[in-house]
Amino acid sequence: MSHQDYPEAAVSPADTEVAEKSDFNPLELSRPDSKLMTYYLLVSLLTGPGIVVTIWPLLFKYLTLEYKFDSSGVSMRWGVLFRTEIYLTYRRVQDIHLTRNLLQRWLGLATVSIQTASGSAAPEMKIEGIIEVEQLRDYLYSQMRGAKTGSLRAEQTKDFPDTESSPAEEPGHSDETLQLLTEIRDQLQRIAEVRPASDSSFSMPEEIEQNEEPEDGAEEVSP
């Protein structure tokens, strides 16, 4: 069944790229392969008499194990009495490991371990029972890189907003700035008109004093 049958699922460019490379579509994954139950049974048999204790938790985990992959993250849940659910966004993923033991190699299975920046040495999530583990690992890597790139662009846009959203370019701010510049221009013109008249008024007494001649009948007294 193709992913067109799921209109509610968001399909990112990375999903399309993975689908074009192979028939593997992670959006369709919801349950592990039946080989996982065989693997759990063999692990329980290796415990010898302890199979009576170990088989039941593994059986319930297989019967209730569900996956969900979408454009924002991956979720995993299982359990009957004690329900466990893990959800990881691709932005939190730091590293992805692919491991196989002898039984898993024989059955064609593997474990995809996803680690986050939580500080714990143990992986945050272990995905089991998937046959196309290499394709799943590549898909998770592409989603992880895409999510981090998108987050970095969002931070850069936040720190350096577009000039179109700048308050200085809004109509109200532009009118206030134009009015202030007009007032400054008028003030400078008034100062330029008043200053020449002030300079001439201060120079007149000097000119009168220089052109003033002695009065008639006044004689100079020589020492």
Q: Which residues contact 91 (CB under 8 A, 6 or more apart)?
A: 144, 147, 148, 151
| Token couple for 50 | 């302890």
Q: Answer yes or no: is pLDDT of 70 > 70.
A: yes
For domain 3-161, which architecture applies? Answer: Roll (2.30)
CB–CB of 61/76 below 8 Å? no
Residue with token string 């190699």: 105
Backbone angles phi and psi of 113, in degrees to 5: -100, 130
CB–CB of 147/12 below 8 Å? no
Q: Which of 76, 70, 67 is nearest to 143 (CA)?
A: 70
- What's the rounded mean pLDDT across residues 21-48? 90
Q: Answer yes or no: is pLDDT of 21 > 70.
A: no
Domain ranges of the chain: 3-161
pLDDT digits (tens, 9 = 90+) for 72-115: 999 999 998 889 999 999 999 999 999 999 999 999 999 999 99
Total-model pTM: 0.59
Q: Is 66 helix (H, G, I), strand (E, B) or coil?
A: strand
